[in-house]
Homo-oligomer: A and B are copies of this chain.
Amino acid sequence: MTIKLYDLAGADPDLRFSPFCWRTKMALRHKELVFSTLAWRFTDTAALAPSGQGRVPVIVDHGQWVSDSWRIALHLDRAYAGHPPLMRSEGERAHARLAMGWVDTLHGAIARIAVLEIAHLVAPQDRAYFRASREARFGMTLEAVTADRPGAVAALGIALHPAEQTLTDAAFLSGPTPGYADYALFGTLMWPHVVCREPVLAAGSHVAAWFERMLDLFDGFARAAPTVRD
């Protein structure tokens, strides 16, 4: 019995752009676990009822429902202790959680780049919900949120500075091999990678080179994911 993952999809069921679901998919591959994904839409909250909440990622692992990408990561290390660890110690867990908290601060800048493109890609039944919830969050129309793309791309570049500095002399944010901090940032950057027609990472940057290395992991698992450019 393989693990099932509810994974956010657009109108095209193969377009998978949730940053948090990407964290979980990379964590599952790191753990060398077999899993299948189910295309899920924002308005499909009934399907997640057994998880006690309405957002993805959610996994069903031998009948056990686990939600939230961080709680899923902890669950996987606990339930599959014989598989490669995502985090090997309390220290690694603390560092990964701090890194994840930093990564989450990038989401505002990415939304300013990508949120209108996403509004056009979500499933028809999700469109009204998506626009209303995001416009309420930003307190303005999605057109206003995304009015200054060059400014938002520049702001993202500045916000990525801690990763850029770290990657000047480390192959990955976790050191010589990738770890949960890498999956956290990679998941967040897969979001614009899948939905945007134009690149968001500065060409020649350490982060851009690292992103290519991340796309190559696990036999090019994430590189094989369909994007709007396909």
A-side interface residues toward B, CB under 8 Å? 89-95, 97-102, 104-105, 159, 161-163, 165-166, 170, 172-177, 179, 181
Whether B101 and A95, one on each chain, are in contact in the complex, defined by CB atoms closer than 8 angstroms, is: no
Whether B165 and A95, one on each chain, are in contact in the complex, defined by CB atoms closer than 8 angstroms, is: no
Which residue on B lies nearest to A182, using beta carbons? B94
Within 8 Å CB of A172, what residues of B?
94
Whether B98 and A99, one on each chain, are in contact in the complex, defined by CB atoms closer than 8 angstroms, is: yes
Least Cβ–Cβ distance between A181 and chain B, in angstroms: 7
Least Cβ–Cβ distance between A20 and chain B, in angstroms: 15
Instruction: Check A176/B90 contact, CB under 8 A, given A95-B95, A97-B166, A181-B95.
Output: yes
Instruction: Check A161/B101 contact, CB under 8 A, given A175-B89, A175-B90, A176-B90.
Output: yes
**Per DSSP, are chain A's interface residues mostly helix, strand or loop, or mixed?**
helix
Whether A173 and B90, one on each chain, are in contact in the complex, defined by CB atoms closer than 8 angstroms, is: no
In the complex, A177 Cα to B89 Cα: how many Å?
A: 12
In the complex, A35 Cα to B209 Cα: how many Å?
A: 41
In the complex, A90 Cα to B91 Cα: how many Å?
A: 14
Contact of A101 among B89, B166, B176, B177 (CB under 8 A): B166
Known: A91-B176, A91-B177, A101-B166. 4 other contacts (CB 8 A): A95-B175, A99-B99, A101-B102, A104-B162
Least Cβ–Cβ distance between A227 and chain B, in angstroms: 27
Whether A102 and B162, one on each chain, are in contact in the complex, defined by CB atoms closer than 8 angstroms, is: yes
Whether A170 and B102, one on each chain, are in contact in the complex, defined by CB atoms closer than 8 angstroms, is: no
Within 8 Å CB of A101, what residues of B?
102, 161-163, 165-166
Within 8 Å CB of A161, what residues of B?
101
In the complex, A172 Cα to B95 Cα: how many Å?
A: 10
Least Cβ–Cβ distance between A27 and chain B, in angstroms: 17
